[in-house]
Structure 1
Amino acid sequence: MKDLSGFLGAALQFAALDIAIRKGMEDGLEEVARRIEQTAKDEIGHYQPAIGGFSEWAQLAESTEADKARKGFEPNAPLERTGQFRESWEHKTEGLEAVIGSKDERAPFFEFGTSKMPPRPVLGPAVAINGNFIKKIIGRATVNGFVGGAAIHHSLGYDDIV
């Protein structure tokens, strides 16, 4: 048993809890970012339905399909020709921040459309598709942080300190 009490004991308890919650949240955020990245990659090459305020993907123009056929690419595979766009998606997490996106310079044009091309959003729908998963993982990470913080507090012998 540690010989600590009062404010010092409470401060140690809160510090242990804060560290455990933060670690749980960071781990959960990494899992969420990885899932959103994979979902974005999986959407490419398939017509997507409307979801979460994002419209369904419009059919490719006949001229686009004809051009793809001439070049030997798969028909009816929006945003997919060589696989380059799919492979350009990645994520990075640092602390409690995540960045998920494509390094392909065409990504904003695909996501938001242009005057000649309808939008075919990838990132927004990937987040919407995973809404329940995100809530579950972040919720679980928070609970695990609380439980982990309590376990750390217990392992340090601070159970009786208030």
Structure 2
Amino acid sequence: MEFSSLGSLALHLVSQEVTLLASLHEGLEKCAEKVETTAKDEIGHYQLGIGPFPAWADLADSTEEQKAKMGYPSDAPLLASGAMQNSITHTTHVLETVIGSTDEKMVYHEFGTPKMPARPVMGPAVLRNKEYIRRVLGLATVTGLIGGSAIHASLGYDSTP
């Protein structure tokens, strides 16, 4: 590739940067959506431990009795009305994403309390998607550096890794 001036080289480099950032943003958004979905899916089902996060302890009999009185599903940890599950969302801005819950009780479940064992949701959701995140962000990086979506087709990749 030849450039007729420093200005044309600069324009080329800026366009490469914009393409890379757009590709990485798109990949990060896909990863955030996947982690959000995984976190929501974990609620209501006992989870095995992963990495530093413990397996979920059985609910206490008193908790199950209280849930039954309120008409909530039995044997469904962290699931009552569904409000906490529905409060899990994400926002992505440029190359930063935040995935979390607006329900203040989530922090007690994530880390536990002196009277309640931890039933972590967010940390395990990230770890369960570790390979997906690597694959998506790796492909987004390569795509952004060497040719946008055209490289997907030439390599036989689907646009949703």
**After TM superposition, is the score higher than 0.5?**
yes
The one-letter amino acid of 1:4's match is S
Unmatched segments (≥5 aa) in structure 1: 152-162
Using the TM superposition, give the Cα deviation of residue 9 of structure 1 relative to its aligned residue in structure 2, in angstroms.
3.9
Q: Which has more radius of gyration?
A: 1
What per-residue deviation string (whole Å, max 9, x for no partner) do you get for residues 5-27 of structure 1? 4x434323322211111100000
Distance 1:3 1:135 in 2: 35
> Which residue matches 1:155?
none
Tell me, in whole angstroms, the C-alpha distance in 2 between the residues paired with 1:64 and 1:147.
Answer: 55
Asked whether the 8 Å contact 2:87–2:103 carries over to 1, the reply is yes
Give the Cα–Cα distance (whole angstroms) in 1 for the partners of residues 123 and 36 of structure 2.
11
Counterpart mapping for 1:26-105 below 5 A: 26-105=25-104
Inter-partner Cα distance in structure 1 for 2:15 and 2:50: 40
Query: Can you list the C-alpha shifts for 1:113-143, whole angstroms capped at 9, x where unaligned?
Result: 1111101110000000000000011001111
Secondary structure (helix, strand or coil) at the match of 2:22 reads helix
CA contact (8 A) 2:20 2:144 kept: yes
Q: Distance in 2 between matches of 1:34 and 1:69?
A: 32
The 2-side partners of 1:133 and 1:99 are apart by 17
- Give the structure 1 partner of residue 138 of structure 2: 139
RMSD over aligned Cα, in angstroms?
1.8
2: CA distance, partners of 1:39 / 1:59: 21
Distance in 2 (CA, whole Å) between partners of 1:9 and 1:135 is: 34
Q: Alpha carbons of 1:119 and 1:26: their partners in 2 closer, same or farther (altered >3 Å)?
A: same
Residue 35 of structure 1 aligns to a residue in which SS?
helix
Displacement of 1:3 in angstroms is 6.7
Runs of 4+ in structure 1 deviating by more than 4 angstroms, as ranges, are: none
Pick 1 or 2: higher relative contact order, CA cutoff 8 A, min separation 6.
1
Structure 2 partner of 1:117 = 116
C-alpha distance 69-35 of structure 1, shift in aligned 2 (>3 A):
same
Q: Pick which of 61-70 and 140-149 moved more.
A: 140-149
Task: Find the counterpart in structure 2 of residue 4 from structure 1.
Answer: 4
Question: Are the aligned partners of 1:21 and 1:148 in contact in 2 as well (CA < 8 Å)?
Answer: no
How far apart, in 1, do the equivalents of 2:122 and 2:13 lie?
37
TM-score w.r.t. structure 2 length? 0.86
The residue type paired with residue 22 of structure 2 is K
